[in-house]
Amino acid sequence: MSAVARPAPVRALGRPVGALAGGWLALVILAAVCAPLLTPYAYDVQSLREAYQPASRTHWLGTDEFGRDLLTRLIYGARTSLSVSGIAIFLSVVSGMTLGAAAAWFGGWFDRVVTVAVDLTWSFPEILIALILVAIIGPGTTGTMVAISVAYLAQFTRLTRAQILTLKGETFIEAARSLGASDGHILFRHLLPNALAPVLVSAMLATGDAIILEATLGFFGLGAQPPVPSWGGMMSAGSALVFKAPWIIVFPGLTVAVTVVAINLFGDALIAELDIRNRLQGRP
């Protein structure tokens, strides 16, 4: 009989790895939100006199080919990268859960159509789907967002459908029915809440992938358009100068890598905490 259980994310922070990863993520998000308060520089004001400066006391991470402060651009870049991938995954989760739950609930021809569409999408790499969509919609943040959310739609549809199908067979669903519960009650009070946790964890891990996808699209010049900074766009600009001013590509690259690893580690900690078996471990 433990005390009232704290929410899983809080418990995940209690693990050393979870705390480290969560700390980094909190730092990045905080920096993105408070960007103007943190840096005296603007992300788009060029000062060619100061171009190609390595790290110094005035420019902690150096400057780029237009003399813009790299740290400033990284922080504003976090705004673009995090919001684009975050909103994209949010849209993807909402539509995927709706589609997956409807397929599992109604079954029949609707389920078959959804399953075939999902399997078809599943067989293409996300990057390919995203590239095709951006090509159709046109480059920019909106195009990237839509492209990413469609690219991950299949994953959440499939996961939600599988969850709901499994849960439908649980005795507590039959118990609710025996009490006279309506379909709406069963769907919204039992099935969806129980399906939510795994979908959210998978959404968290997908956000890491989405950051890479957003950076990739940015690298190809299909993401946020200059002068708005994005991590991918910064790496793209730095790639031509990798020998002259390596820091221009190294720091955005490191930031992407560390952030994605942090998301994955925090996701793993969350999985471990949400796992019922883990909670019961040590029972004889």
Partner 1 sequence: MSEPLIRIQGLSRRFDTGGGFLKAPRSMMAVRDVSLDIARGEVLGVVGESGCGKSTLARLVLRLIEPTSGRVRFDGTDLTALKPAALRAARRRMAMVFQDPYSSLDPRYTLAEVLAEPFVVQGQAVTQDRLAAMLAAVGLPPAMLGSHPHQLSGGQRQRVGIARALALSPAFVVLDEPTASLDVSIQAQIIDLLSGLRDRMGLTYLFISHDLGLVRYFCDRIVVMYLGAVVEVLDRADAAPRHPYTRALIDSGFAPDPSRRRAIAPLAGEIPSPFSLPPGCAFAGRCPRASDLCRRDIPALSAGEDHPVACFHPL
Partner 2 sequence: MTALLQVTDLSVAIGALRLLDGVSLSVERGQILGLVGESGSGKSLTATAAMGLLPLIGGRVTGGAVYFDGRDLARMSEAERRGLRGRRIGFVTQNPMTALDPVQRVGEQIDVVSRLHLGLSKAAARARTVDLMTQLRIPEAAAVAEAWPHQLSGGMKQRIVIAMALAGEPDLIIADEPTTALDVTVQAQIIQILGGLVRERGMGLLLITHDMGVVAQVCDRVAVLYAGRLAEDGAVGPIFAAPAHPYTAALIGCIPQDGMAPGSLRGIPGVVPSARAFPSGCRFHPRCARATPDCAAQVPPLAPRGAAGAGRAACLHMLPEAG
Which residues are at the interface with partner 2 (CB under 8 A)? 282-284
Task: Say if residues 72 and 43 touch (Cβ distance below 8 Å).
Answer: yes
Q: Which stretch binds partner 1 (CB under 8 A): 31-39, 132-140, 182-190, 218-226?
A: 182-190
Does 37 bind partner 1 (CB under 8 A)? Our answer is no
Instruction: Tell the smallest beta-carbon distance from residue 17 to partner 2 (Å).
Output: 20
Q: 244 in helix, strand or coil?
A: coil
| Residue 8 vs 89, nearer CB to partner 1 | 8
Query: Please, which contacts does 272-275 make with residues 24 or more away whose CB atoms are closer than 8 Å?
Result: 272/12, 272/15, 273/8, 273/9, 273/11, 273/12, 273/15, 273/18, 274/8, 274/197, 274/198, 274/201
Cis peptide before 227 (omega within 30 of 0): yes
> Which CA distances in Å does 54 have to 5, 112, 163?
49, 58, 51
Shortest approach of partner 2 to residue 145 CB, angstroms?
A: 46
Provide the minimum distance between the beta carbon of 283 and partner 2 in the complex, in angstroms, as a whole number.
7
* Footprint of partner 1 on 145-174 (CB under 8 A): 170-172, 174
Output 113 or 175, the one with its CB closest to partner 1. Answer: 175
277 touching partner 1, by CB under 8 A: no
* Residue 9, CB-side half-sphere exposure with 13 Å CA sphere: 11
Amino acid present at 50: E
Which partner in partner 1, partner 2, none is near 2 (CB below 5 to 8 A by kind)? partner 1
Residues that bind partner 1 (CB under 8 A): 1-2, 4-5, 170-172, 174-182, 185, 190, 193-194, 276, 279-280
